[in-house]
Structure 1
Amino acid sequence: MGNNNIDYIFQMCRKRLYGDYYSLDRISESNISYKELLDDIFQNNLEAFLYPVLKQVKNDDSYFYENFSALEMAVKKWMFEELKKYQIIRTINSEAEKRGLNFVFFKGIVLADLYPQYAERFSSDSDILVSDDQKTEAETLLKECGYSKYKEGSKEEVQVYANSTYGHTVELHTRLWEDYTGPRIEVLKTMNLSSPETDIKIKACGIDINTLGHEKHLVYQMFHIIKHFSLDGIGIRYLIDITLFVNKYFDEIDFTLFWKHMDMLGYTKFVEAFFRICIVELKMTDKVFDNHQVKWDSSVENLKLDLLKIGNIHDKEAGWQIMGAMEAYFTGEAKASDSSFKNKLRMAFPSVKALPKVYGYAKKCPILLPVAWIHRDVKFLIKKAIHKDDFYGINEKMSVADRRLRLIKELELTD
């Protein structure tokens, strides 16, 4: 994505959020490839959100004009499908109340409510937190509402259920941090992000729901964002989500406590840079930095470029190869080195702590670590044969992961 495209997408976002208060350059005068611009908008899942703005500029470019009808039909279809999902969410929520189940909704529906039109925020799933003792009843409710369990996608602490009629998936959490373990997760546990004392009731997308308290929800969102940033990269929509959330709930968030929590998790520098982009590009309130000392460096621009590229591991369809290798750095089990050679060496021969969970036998019995290395290499050869050109080679994988680690270290996420 060229710098012109980056700047123009942010112009469009500001125009959509704040209307006539912000102007929009003509595409024809901005040295922009409209095809690339559309590709970037689709990649960032912003087509419905920016559709009203795209309508205003459709006469600026012949490619745009010729393809706008198809875009318009697609967006209307997608938004209709999105509205269907809220029908079943309303049913699930109502049934939970009737049965005395405490369903705590987070992310999706809460964030969608902040958009100019909630169906503009496409989402295939809903995240719901339940207690261990209500898990079985919650799963029964979902089955009775037409959901089937996706066993391959489920984990110990996250059960995944899909409803093909509504094109909707529910991720039923018994832990906000899913199945992750490690030093950072232990810190997160001490924050008690969800409890009857701090959970709140709000109306979101026309539905009365239980959700996390606003400060704790913001802490969780940064955890979630940093998870994706560390493992596979994130895009512009996360900036919009946080901007809208902070601007709406600023007066109800204890930012002194929030920054304390960021310090405890080792997230401070990342969040400072992330917030800076939200403030400059999307006009989030700068009051988030009141009584908070911050120094800027090149990490802000480096993060901005990475965000807009949605990380650097999506150059191939097999970007998921990198995710397992990055998990230990996200959870705090491993630390990145200043040396690219050392990072690549650790990637080739990971320690027990840095192994993906699929090699759990080596975690339980460290003497089997060499066996895990061989196991991983055999799996690589098999998958390489299947995926062929879409699969990272060994050296390529290490180089991509090293670039990711250097940015993570620059943002102090491995300290």
Structure 2
Amino acid sequence: MNTIDQLLEASKQALNNQMIELKIADEPAFFKLMVSSGLSGVIIPALNLSHYSERFNQKAQGVIYQFMDKDLKQQRLIQKLRALFMKNEIDFIFLKGTKLKSLYKETYMRGMGDVDVLVRSDLDVIQDLFKKENIHLETRSLAHDHYHTDDGLIIEIHPSIHNDFNPKYQGYFKGAWEHVTKVSDYEYTLTPNFELVYLLYHLAKHVESSGIGLRSLLDIGIYRLHYEKEIDDVLLFKTLENINMTRFYNTVMLLNQKYFGLETKPIKEDFILSDDDYTVMTNYFVTSGIHGQGETFNPMAPRLAASTNKGKSKFRVLMRIIFPKMRDARGLFPVLNKHPYLYPFMIVYRNFKLLFLKRKSSIYKLKALNESDRNREEIINLFDKMGIY
């Protein structure tokens, strides 16, 4: 087996509660791939470390300790936020990673970057509450307010979820509070049908904007199986058809079968992927890594092929990066929310920084954009086959 096949086999065994005793031919390559794919928390606890080198064991134990330590801090923060919102009678919903963590055998197995919360409240009220708790506001945007704690944890407070998505999907995601179940006095959770579609589209968004690791695909499979009895497939099919995501859903379910051995059936029973399509998709997901941070991955490649840039020349895409729309600029410069007339000055300031203070980074991105143009059609075809568009 090659390294990718070994990684997938190790994942299957771990998810099946088996001890992993695979003979790993290239330990450094396996370790690097495991980390970049986001599967360390799943695989390492199931490894029989007596079969591997001392160096491999030391690195694996170091990674899993970091996972456990961060998870413990995040769980404490989640409880703190829950108590704070309850005390102040603020309706809230924990989103994405916080919810997905709870579906794994142990919460530390699923790494998480930040704690996302949807609230039904004035954001200035949240800011005042957090200030008293030494939770510091970093940036404000239309999509969310970004906070950090003294020990380095990140919180994103969302006034809505539809701002995270392509405007054509706003009609569906704007009504999030119409698709909730009450957990306790002020805590709610999204209904399984609605949340599955939300997670699926969020995944598609990351495929287009940066890239995803294998764990992001596993999240959807884990969620689907956990709520199998509660999901209304007839309603799900209608929803996916309405927002043109049926093929992407089928692709994700089929890949969960092939990658992880999960019994996640596509809505279309006879849905298949050719061997060539499967290989190309697998290489893309493995290379991109979590949030497009794969070592050899070009993060500009999916952006150039994204649906919002489809059909646009490389020059037009570059101009949109240099001169972002007001909506996007407000995310970069929250001051524009109150003073939109400052837009020209903020753009001059931003481009001055990119040209002189972040020169190396800007040159790298320009080169990456140029290289991306060479295989743009290839990625567009890949996205088509996945069902992204």
Shorter-chain TM-score above 0.5: yes
Secondary structure of 1:130's counterpart equals: strand
Query: Is the Cα–Cα contact under 8 Å of residues 98 and 115 in structure 2 kept in the other structure?
Result: yes
Q: How many residues align?
A: 367
Equivalent residue number for residue 87 of structure 1 = 76
Equivalent residue number for residue 51 of structure 2 = 60
Q: CA deviation at 1:104?
A: 0.8
Separation (CA, whole Å) in 1 of partners of 2:280 and 2:322: 30
Residue 276 (structure 1) aligned with residue 254 (structure 2)? yes
Q: CA deviation at 1:164?
A: 2.3
Separation (CA, whole Å) in 1 of partners of 2:182 and 2:12: 30
Query: Is the Cα–Cα contact under 8 Å of residues 302 and 379 in structure 2 kept in the other structure?
Result: no
Residue identity in the other structure for 2:170: E
Q: For structure 1, which runs of at least 5 residues remain unmatched after alignment?
A: 337-342, 365-373
Output aligned runs, 1:138-149, within 5 Å. 138-149=126-137
Equivalent residue number for residue 162 of structure 2 = 177
Indicate the larger mover: 386-395 or 9-18.
Answer: 386-395
Equivalent residue number for residue 332 of structure 2 = none
Output aligned runs, 1:13-412, within 5 Å. 13-20=11-18, 24=20, 26-27=22-23, 32-54=25-47, 56=48, 58-61=49-52, 64-131=53-120, 133-151=121-139, 154-165=140-151, 167-183=152-168, 185-189=169-173, 192=175, 194-195=176-177, 197-201=178-182, 209-289=187-267, 294-297=271-274, 298-310=276-288, 319=298, 321=300, 325=304, 329=307, 333-336=308-311, 346-350=313-317, 355-356=320-321, 358-360=323-325, 385-387=359-361, 390-393=364-367, 395-399=370-374, 401-412=376-387
Query: Is the Cα–Cα contact under 8 Å of residues 101 and 110 in structure 2 kept in the other structure?
Result: yes
Indicate the larger mover: 403-412 or 122-131.
Answer: 403-412
Q: For structure 2, which runs of at least 5 residues remain unmatched after alignment?
A: 330-347
Query: Is the Cα–Cα contact under 8 Å of residues 211 and 299 in structure 2 kept in the other structure?
Result: no
Q: For residues 195-224 of structure 1, what are the alpha-carbon distances to aligned partners after superposition, in whole Å with 9 as ceiling and x for unaligned? A: 2x5312459xxxx95221111110000111
Identical residues among aligned pairs (%): 18
Q: CA deviation at 1:118?
A: 0.4
Equivalent residue number for residue 337 of structure 2 = none
Q: CA deviation at 1:161?
A: 0.6
Q: For residues 151-201 of structure 1, what are the alpha-carbon distances to aligned partners after superposition, in whole Å with 9 as ceiling and x for unaligned? A: 2xx421211111022x32111111213354432x235347x3x22x53124
The 1:130–1:319 alpha-carbon spacing in structure 2 relative to 1, beyond 3 Å, is: farther
Q: CA deviation at 1:307?
A: 1.6
Indicate the larger mover: 211-220 or 64-73.
Answer: 64-73
Separation (CA, whole Å) in 2 of partners of 1:155 and 1:362: 9
Q: CA deviation at 1:254?
A: 1.1
Separation (CA, whole Å) in 2 of partners of 1:160 and 1:188: 25
Q: CA deviation at 1:404?
A: 2.8
Separation (CA, whole Å) in 2 of partners of 1:140 and 1:302: 49
Q: For residues 340-389 of structure 1, what are the alpha-carbon distances to aligned partners after superposition, in whole Å with 9 as ceiling and x for unaligned? A: xxx6xx1223499xx3595226999xxxxxxxxx9999987658842388
Query: Is the Cα–Cα contact under 8 Å of residues 182 and 189 in structure 2 kept in the other structure?
Result: yes
Secondary structure of 2:42's counterpart equals: helix
Equivalent residue number for residue 333 of structure 2 = none
Separation (CA, whole Å) in 2 of partners of 1:375 and 1:310: 31
Query: Is the Cα–Cα contact under 8 Å of residues 304 and 373 in structure 2 kept in the other structure?
Result: no
Query: Is the Cα–Cα contact under 8 Å of residues 163 and 170 in structure 2 kept in the other structure?
Result: no
Separation (CA, whole Å) in 2 of partners of 1:261 and 1:288: 15
Query: Is the Cα–Cα contact under 8 Å of residues 156 and 179 in structure 1 kept in the other structure?
Result: no
Secondary structure of 1:234's counterpart equals: coil
Separation (CA, whole Å) in 2 of partners of 1:284 and 1:105: 26
The 1:293–1:318 alpha-carbon spacing in structure 2 relative to 1, beyond 3 Å, is: closer
Q: CA deviation at 1:137?
A: 2.0
Equivalent residue number for residue 369 of structure 1 = none
Q: For residues 287-306 of structure 1, what are the alpha-carbon distances to aligned partners after superposition, in whole Å with 9 as ceiling and x for unaligned? A: 453x6563544434432222
Q: For residues 113-164 of structure 1, what are the alpha-carbon distances to aligned partners after superposition, in whole Å with 9 as ceiling and x for unaligned? A: 1111102222131111113x4322223222222211112xx42121111102
The 1:81–1:287 alpha-carbon spacing in structure 2 relative to 1, beyond 3 Å, is: closer
Residue identity in the other structure for 1:68: N
Secondary structure of 1:272's counterpart equals: helix
Separation (CA, whole Å) in 2 of partners of 1:363 and 1:126: 22
Query: Is the Cα–Cα contact under 8 Å of residues 273 and 299 in structure 1 kept in the other structure?
Result: no
Residue identity in the other structure for 1:40: L
Secondary structure of 1:226's counterpart equals: helix
TM-score (norm 1): 0.76
Q: For residues 69-119 of structure 1, what are the alpha-carbon distances to aligned partners after superposition, in whole Å with 9 as ceiling and x for unaligned? A: 243144224312320221121011111112110011111121101111102
Q: CA deviation at 1:314?
A: 5.0
